């Protein structure tokens, strides 16, 4: 768990990153799944998703260390999480990203996510979050 915490704190600023208690709760929740990607014998990134309702899943966090970004780790993590949700018959994936994180917004949009609303003062540092969703094709 400490490895995931360290990665989360490297990927996100204080007030956006999780503390150990929060991260542990997300990972251990019975409706959650955590995927880890390794490179060069070490964890390079991870994703935690949670089944929110009978119809949707929620990406709690996706973290990829800077040195591994733009090399496919994020794509792989999203792909696996979406397929996990689809195999469970879920119709939508939901996530939040900082209103200030334009790189993340572009990443999600390129994968079919759309901005549906903004939540002011979402993060503990007072910054707003974009809620983004992706509806899965019923034919998949």
Considering the domain boundaries, does residue 14 fall inside one? Answer: yes
Considering the domain boundaries, does residue 35 fall inside one? Answer: yes
pLDDT score at 129? 95
pLDDT score at 138? 53
Give the count of alpha carbons within 13 A of 124, CB side only: 9
pTM comes to: 0.92
pLDDT score at 139? 44
Containing structural domain, residue 47: 2-135
Q: Which residues of the chain have pLDDT under 70?
A: 138-140
Of 100, 93, 103, which is closest to residue 130 (Cα–Cα)?
100
Supply the CATH number for residue 106's domain: 3.40.630.30
Considering the domain boundaries, does residue 128 fall inside one? Answer: yes
pLDDT score at 130? 97
Task: State the helix-helix crossing angle for 20-28 and 2-11, rounded to 10 degrees.
Answer: 120
pLDDT score at 140? 44
pLDDT score at 124? 85
- Encode pLDDT of 48-70 as tens digits: 999 988 899 999 999 999 999 99
pLDDT score at 137? 77
E-assigned strand segments in 16-137: 32-39, 42-51, 56-64, 92-98, 114-119, 129-135
Considering the domain boundaries, does residue 140 fall inside one? Answer: no
Q: Domain count of the chain?
A: 1
């Amino acid at each position: 768990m400490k490895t995931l915490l360290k990665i989360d704190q490297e990927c996100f600023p204080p007030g956006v990153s999780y503390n150990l208690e929060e991260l542990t709760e997300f990972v251990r929740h019975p409706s959650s799944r955590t995927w880890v990607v390794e490179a060069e014998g070490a964890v390079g990134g991870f994703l935690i998703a949670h089944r929110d309702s009978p119809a949707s899943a929620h990406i709690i966090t996706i973290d990829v260390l800077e040195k591994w970004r733009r090399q496919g780790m994020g794509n792989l993590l999203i792909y696996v999480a979406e397929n996990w949700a689809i195999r469970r018959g879920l119709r939508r994936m939901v996530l939040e990203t900082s209103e200030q994180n334009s790189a993340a917004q572009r990443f999600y949009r390129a994968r079919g996510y759309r901005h549906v609303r903004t939540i002011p003062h979402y993060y503990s540092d007072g910054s707003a979050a974009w809620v983004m969703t992706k509806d899965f094709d019923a034919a998949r």
